[in-house]
């Protein structure tokens, strides 16, 4: 067989151990635990390595600095939104709402709040977090309104920045002040009126606007009745001309 025969090259054993695909996840989980316990100021790569059960050199091979690891850990707590671009503003917002809501829950909210309070002492780290997480998430919601305006689903003079800020602000305020402040108190032993829709899909067939409609898993949780009300309000405020949900949806 010729020395440069590709079949011979493929048959040669590869040197070194294959990369452990679980290390990234273990390290990031350990880094979040470290942030929860120690905050940004007390964050230690040595402690993260011990928590994750990995060598410190394995961490630095992936995140070359302490700040890079802190930023990556904070990124796992943020929404990580991308524009859904389903072709419908209603479907886009129904997909985005539970993803945003998942961030504004405990313990993620408390960890983020603590770290953000500390980040004022680390301006470079704060600027990177804002750019990579906060601004990108806000831009994903704004893009949904922008795309809808281009499709003619909204009025042509819609302020997409204000529309996105209002949509995100309602979700944040509801979590920050509690559901009772909005009249959604949970009766003892009763269901959460703002929880998952009790009746399942809308009458007349599957809910084509649900996050699961595109075939992917809804990792952020189900679309709730509150999400639906918020989306319908946002559509009305934007001057939406698309169909309305059937009664009881």
Q: What is the pLDDT of residues 179-191, one digit of tens each?
A: 444 444 443 334 4
Domain boundaries, the chain: 22-76, 79-181+194-238
What's the whole-number mean pLDDT along residues 6-30? Answer: 68
What's the whole-number mean pLDDT along residues 205-219? Answer: 37
Q: Mean pLDDT, the chain, as a whole number?
A: 78
pLDDT tens-place string over residues 68-103: 999 999 998 887 888 999 999 999 999 999 999 888
Rounded CA separation 44/58 (Å): 15
Which pLDDT score, from 0 to 100, does residue 177 have? 75
Is 3.40.50.80 the CATH number for 79-181+194-238?
Answer: no
Question: How distant, in Å, are the alpha carbons of 23, 57, 97, 178 from that of 30?
Answer: 10, 15, 28, 29
pLDDT tens-place string over residues 21-65: 789 999 999 999 999 999 999 999 999 999 999 999 999 999 999
Question: How distant, in Å, are the alpha carbons of 81, 170, 231 from that of 75?
Answer: 11, 22, 26
Q: Is the pTM of this model over 0.75?
A: no
Residue 205 has pLDDT above 60, yes or no: no
**Roughly what angle, to the nearest 10 degrees, separates helices 89-103 and 225-238?**
130
What's the whole-number mean pLDDT along residues 163-169? Answer: 95
Report residue 240's pLDDT band, with 50, 70 and 90 as the boundaries: low
Is 1.10.10.60 the CATH number for 22-76?
Answer: yes
């Amino acid at each position: 067989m010729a020395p440069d025969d590709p079949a011979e090259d493929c048959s040669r054993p590869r040197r070194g151990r294959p990369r452990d695909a679980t290390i990234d996840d273990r390290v990031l989980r350990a880094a979040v635990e470290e942030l929860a316990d120690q905050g940004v100021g007390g964050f230690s790569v040595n402690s993260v390595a011990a928590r994750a059960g990995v060598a410190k050199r394995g961490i630095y091979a992936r995140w070359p600095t302490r700040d890079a690891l802190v930023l990556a850990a904070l990124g796992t707590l943020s929404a990580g939104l991308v524009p859904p671009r389903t072709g419908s503003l209603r479907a886009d917002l129904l997909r985005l709402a539970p993803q945003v809501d998942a961030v504004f829950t405990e313990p993620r909210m408390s960890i983020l709040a603590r770290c953000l309070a500390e980040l004022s002492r680390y301006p470079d780290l704060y600027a990177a977090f804002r750019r990579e997480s906060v601004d990108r998430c806000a831009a994903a919601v704004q893009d949904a309104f922008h795309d809808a305006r281009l499709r003619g689903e909204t009025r042509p003079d819609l302020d997409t920045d204000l529309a996105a800020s209002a949509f995100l602000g309602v979700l944040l305020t509801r979590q920050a002040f509690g559901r009772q402040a909005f009249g959604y108190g949970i009766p003892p032993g009763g269901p959460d009126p703002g929880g998952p829709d009790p009746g399942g899909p809308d009458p007349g067939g599957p809910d084509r606007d649900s996050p699961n409609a595109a075939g992917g898993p809804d990792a952020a949780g189900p679309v709730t009745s509150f999400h639906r009300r918020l989306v319908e309000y946002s559509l009305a405020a934007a001057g939406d001309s698309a169909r309305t949900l059937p009664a009881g949806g």
